[in-house]
Amino acid sequence: MLNRAKTSTDVEIIVDLYEKDKATLTAMLVNIREIILVNRDDDKATVSKIKDYLQGQGLKFE
């Protein structure tokens, strides 16, 4: 997932979040960056933890 091409859905989610609340998006990006840094040796754990984090933030995705 980390190396996949970005889809229009990805872009729509990012733009929607940015327009709603720039500070919230910035905080989310910082938190996701931290998850990536802590789990950089395990791609599956990284993806799983990012998904869990985003779901905890109320984002729904496939």
Looking at residue 52, its pLDDT comes to 95
Count other C-beta atoms under 10 Å from residue 46's C-beta.
19
Residue 2 pLDDT > 60: no
Residue 53 pLDDT > 70: yes
Give pLDDT tens digits for 10-51: 888 888 877 878 888 889 999 999 999 999 999 999 999 999
Domain ranges of the chain: 8-56
Among 1-5, 19-23, 53-57, name the one with the lowest average pLDDT: 1-5
How far apart CA 20 and CA 2 sit, in angstroms, is 25
pTM over 0.85: no
